[in-house]
Structure 1
């Protein structure tokens, strides 16, 4: 019943394709009625809730398909390919995108880990994956409905932050909680390394620098990084740079400028690696693309 109310509420608000800001910072509604093939994108820390239709994301060759049965939670910046290959006017994609505020998520995660009756992180074991699909539960459904019911400036100004915080809390307690608490709480070394790398793509950041940043040996850092992202640190850096460059080219940036913006000093190396990744040279990409812009 709650899910039906959410779907009706969103459907009543968004009438045409695109993104619609709700007024609550970082919370948007979206609608897509055209099939969009998977294309390079960078997922930032986000929860994406699908209410009708389905969405697809590909991370290092693994396909994640999510619909109204599970929401997607991404806890760190990740280079992916994303699209809506099945969307149509008869079966539109309808959903909600919620950016995860690092500061608030960190405060909540640490409070959860240090409070009486805290949910403790499992000791040992593999690093939880940073992209996960989570089942809806009552807490998540109720929090999402309460958040989306804010529909005037005064309510949003007074209650927006608290209801968004409630939604965050439901994510941290739910199926994606282990991954989210590891990314934002105590022991968030890999998330911190990824954040540093994402902010310094144009610089020559080495694995040793990243490992030193989070006080790990190179070997331990490499293992934990791959557990969390499915990629080695070198693969991750290359994918992040190329995906960001592809998005810049799609937005109209000159190929050489896009290459330099993400840290390439050799245009020939950039072209080789770009073609190896996407099957087209950057020039072919820019000419053929009019890259169908991902909604989320």
Structure 2
């Protein structure tokens, strides 16, 4: 794959973006140590803090298909790259990734080794939290409708690292998590709404924005991906004309609604075959396909191999990774 690093936007450095000194944050050894200890023996692991997951990769890897939730992804050691279509977003300890919608992507590890693994965290964004903070005046500036992309990069500053570090430190104090984690999570959301990413988050949390309406349609597709879908119905749900809905949906997700539904179906079928031992025909039926041959063709185009071969490869890779 030809490597490019052109994001959909130019990352802007604002010295006061988080209102705490403005300097780029330096990841402390303590923060690296916490992620290293809690991720040891895992590729990805959930934590006791709601919405917080950790990741660890000990070698570079080519792009792997994935779905990324509305979240911030912070690398504390090493480097990764996220591909959305043909656009690449490279990030490391100096920049973090932010997504405002669940998006199909390809995740690539570009800097990692057993001695110095790529370590980091993903924190799910809470839309209700954003909406509440916005209603209380906790966001900067007017809603920017000129940049509707659902993904971006931002400088990792001390303002965002400070509450993230406090959140991770709670992993070593599990009894305090129910009492202190909600406060720290709220601060992180507030800091994001004070950043240069505020417009990206406001568009999914402000009821007057196109992004909010599209996000509701995305929620519907995710809940009903196995059912037939009518674009006109989704457009009416979003209170848009069909052409306007189609345009804004693609602008936010980089896919058409039908392509988005197809990706959800294929990802779920892959999970069913990999973790629940379903064969391709039964997995295809469960996710809404009526034709096994069509499912096999579309699966091969998406993942580069027919279902059976792909699942065998994934299982072999898992066995090799964990012995």
What TM-score comes out, normalization by structure 1 length?
A: 0.87
Out of 127, 142, 145, the position equivalent to 1:102 is 127
Out of 200, 207, 215, the position equivalent to 1:179 is 200
Aligned to 2:160: 140
RMSD of equivalent CA atoms = 2.5
| Distance in 1, Cα, partners of 2:261 & 2:36 | 39
> Does residue 27 in structure 1 map to residue 52 in structure 2?
yes
Cα distance change, pair 40–12 in 1 and its aligned pair in 2 (3 A): closer
Aligned to 2:215: 191
Contact 1:57/1:63, CA 8 A, preserved across alignment: yes
| Distance in 1, Cα, partners of 2:316 & 2:97 | 24
Aligned to 1:129: 149
Contact 1:36/1:292, CA 8 A, preserved across alignment: no
Aligned to 2:274: 250
> Does residue 279 in structure 1 map to residue 304 in structure 2?
yes
| Distance in 2, Cα, partners of 1:142 & 1:153 | 19
> Does residue 200 in structure 1 map to residue 220 in structure 2?
no
User: In the TM superposition, what are the counterparts of 1:140-179 in structure 2 within 5 Å?
Assistant: 140-150=160-170, 151-179=172-200
Aligned to 2:14: none
| Distance in 2, Cα, partners of 1:276 & 1:147 | 40
Aligned to 1:119: 141
Moved more, 267-276 or 22-31: 22-31
**Superposed displacement of residue 157, structure 1:** 2.1
Gaps of 5+ in 1: none
Q: Provide, for residues 144-194 of structure 1, a one-character-per-residue CA deviation record: whole Å limited to 9, x for no partner.
A: 122223231332121110111111111222232211111122321111111
**Superposed displacement of residue 61, structure 1:** 2.8
Contact 1:71/1:133, CA 8 A, preserved across alignment: yes
Query: The residue matched to 2:81 in structure 1 has which SS?
Result: strand
User: In the TM superposition, what are the counterparts of 1:222-241 in structure 2 within 5 Å?
Assistant: 222-241=246-265
| Distance in 1, Cα, partners of 2:106 & 2:283 | 18
Cα distance change, pair 278–184 in 1 and its aligned pair in 2 (3 A): same
Q: Provide, for residues 64-114 of structure 1, a one-character-per-residue CA deviation record: whole Å limited to 9, x for no partner.
A: 2221121111211112222425432133111112122332233223433xx
Contact 2:140/2:193, CA 8 A, preserved across alignment: no
Query: The residue matched to 1:149 in structure 2 has which SS?
Result: helix
Contact 1:45/1:74, CA 8 A, preserved across alignment: yes
| Distance in 2, Cα, partners of 1:145 & 1:255 | 43
**Superposed displacement of residue 118, structure 1:** 5.3
Cα distance change, pair 15–276 in 1 and its aligned pair in 2 (3 A): closer
> Does residue 209 in structure 1 map to residue 233 in structure 2?
yes
Which of 1 and 2 has higher RCO (CA within 8 Å, sep 6+)?
Answer: 1
How many residue pairs match? The answer is: 289
